[in-house]
Structure 1
């Protein structure tokens, strides 16, 4: 397992679970638009739906290409893992299709397809969490058999797996709201809804991202308290360029998660959040870095 493999696992977890969160966020926004009679929520939901479709299509295309072309992930999926892998790819493809249909549906069917895509992404994310957990346990190396599959299933009853699931959910929520925040900023020139809209939506998304980030920090603190020490050889294999400082860098790198929370929270307090738009992109970089440093400890 290389640095690239762990980084890919972090990105796959974050994007996969973000796609699970975003459809329900758009449905909730549309409900609020009706309840509070504010069109700002409808505009926000439309932008979130387009982000869900883009992320869903990208991850489905990436997984589909890896499956069809026997890529690096597909070569590892042998035996029982192949069924899980192919099921995950198909569920992502179906979820992405539903997410795209949402963009062209009328109001009556829009929420129904959004919920359907969210449920499909949730099913795919469950399989994704299982595969990443097996990868972290060393059970997915292209030669795993039924015994390794049984060991992974048995380990799902442990407290470590529960913490990993909580970490994945909070990472997906933080990443989902963080990506939505960046997406709203990127659409500023295309969808010119005015300063009031962007002050409202950026403030709302940054508050949601900071709340999810706070829960992620709590899970991180529990995980670190259980495993405060990290093998020097293991740390060096993950950061070969850091030499004897690899362990300290990986431990200190977990502080990127509180830093990301601080940026989101600062943005949520700003009267004009668009003036601090660089915080949104920097926070995503810190989130991935901090999640990488934590994932190595699992």
Structure 2
């Protein structure tokens, strides 16, 4: 693949990467919100609770968007990929089991997000709902990521190679996306909180606190995501490693790593800054870089399907 073809593929991936990023933030939002709720209870600090409540507000919007995106993808699968659509409807299949996990996530998540105020005096039960939604989202990813790898490999490779290549990529990619949904939820949550500042006027002290917390919780999973890139590369066969280094795909991989590092530096700066609200534009810049990172990551995934 030439550099021009690679850039064209990256550009083609930008639109689906945008909607995928929204979906990832939806999946990770219960984890961030429940972490804040637990922190509020254990540290006796109401600012955590406000931050969790605002993250839950974003999560509600994104879960509704995710339902619409998921419905559209099923419609596309029905028309263009009838075998895949059938797999979603076949009890016991990985896609069916993953759909069940995501359904549990949606139900528990919607109840969790919409009952934040009503269950203020039943924090234990409310936290339990958030944990159910969180574990259902992670379980769904752990099921669907290997299933999608196996499906894509099966389209072009013999059965023996399908299992081998799926095993090579499944663990690092599942871990990578589990971390990425957490980082996406915190990063988009940071931008959402800043957009809501004029409507939800909780005071300057709260917003300085929320920007620092959101930045920290976006940064830590991103560090893990970058570590997964090294893990993924180390799992590839030696001939594939050599092939990647000799193609423009190497620039894609370096590019997404650099973008992840830039996002991390922005969040580290905001977390350590005395007055982070003075630099709120950096929060939106980080979201844009995150979007491009995800498009590059998708480009990498597509090329793996043809190279291995």
What TM-score comes out, normalization by structure 2 length? Answer: 0.75
Contact 1:14–1:168 under 8 Å retained in 2: no
- After superposition, the C-alpha distances for 1:191-238 in whole angstroms (9 at most, x for unaligned) are 110100010011011112122222222222344565364387xx6xxx
Secondary structure of the 1:263 match is helix
Q: Which has the higher contact order (CA 8 A, sep 6+)?
A: 2
How many angstroms apart in 1 are the aligned matches of 2:61 and 2:16? 20
1:276 and 2:279 correspond: yes
**Residue 90 of structure 1, CA deviation:** 4.9
- Give, in angstroms, the shift of residue 6 of structure 1: 5.2
Q: 1:63-88 CA deviation, whole Å, 9 max, x = no partner? A: 12332565667546155465444554
Residue of structure 2 equivalent to 1:166: 175
Q: Does 1:199 align with 2:196?
A: no
- Give the equivalent residue in structure 2 for 1:177: 186
* Counterpart residue number, 2:5: none
Whether the 8 Å contact between 2:253 and 2:296 is mirrored in structure 1 is yes
- Of 139, 147, 152, the residue aligned with 2:154 is 139
For 1:174 and 1:228, how far apart are their aligned partners in 2?
31
**Structure 1 contact 56–95 (Cα < 8 Å) conserved:** no
User: Residues 139-186 of structure 1, C-alpha deviation per residue, up to 9 Å, x if partnerless?
Assistant: 369xx9xx75x864554433x322222222222222122122112112
Q: Map of 1:136-285 to 2, 5 A cutoff?
A: 137-139=152-154, 152-153=162-163, 155-158=165-168, 160-224=169-233, 227=241, 229-230=243-244, 246-247=248-249, 249-254=251-256, 255-285=258-288
Judged with a 3 Å threshold, the aligned counterparts in structure 2 of structure 1 residues 155 and 223 are, in CA distance, closer, same or farther, namely closer
Distance in 2 of aligned mates of 1:251 and 1:151: 24
How far, CA to CA, are the matches of 1:30 and 1:256 in structure 2?
30
Aligned to 1:63: 70
In the TM superposition, what is the alpha-carbon distance from 1:26 to its structure 2 partner?
A: 1.9
Structure 2 residue 140 is the aligned partner of structure 1 residue 124:
yes
What root-mean-square deviation, in Å, do the aligned CA atoms of Structure 1 and Structure 2 show?
A: 3.4
List runs of 5+ in structure 1 lacking aligned partners.
236-245
Once residues 218 and 196 of structure 1 are traced to their aligned partners in structure 2, the CA distance between those partners, rounded to angstroms, is 34
The structure-2 alpha-carbon separation of the partners of 1:114 and 1:164, relative to structure 1 and needing over 3 Å to count, comes to: same
Determine the C-alpha separation between the residues in 1 that align with 2:203 and 2:154.
Answer: 52
The alpha-carbon distance between structure 1 residues 217 and 67, as it changes in their structure 2 partners (threshold 3 A), is: closer
- Give the SS at the match of 1:157: helix
Matched, 1:97 2:107: yes
Q: 1:94 to 1:165 in 2, by over 3 A?
A: closer
Structure-2 change in CA distance of 1:181 and 1:113 (3 Å)? same
Q: Please name the residue that 1:243 is paired with.
A: none
Q: 1:239 is matched with which residue?
A: none
Q: Deviations over 1:78-129 (max 9, x none)?
A: 5546544455445434422322222134232422322222233223323331
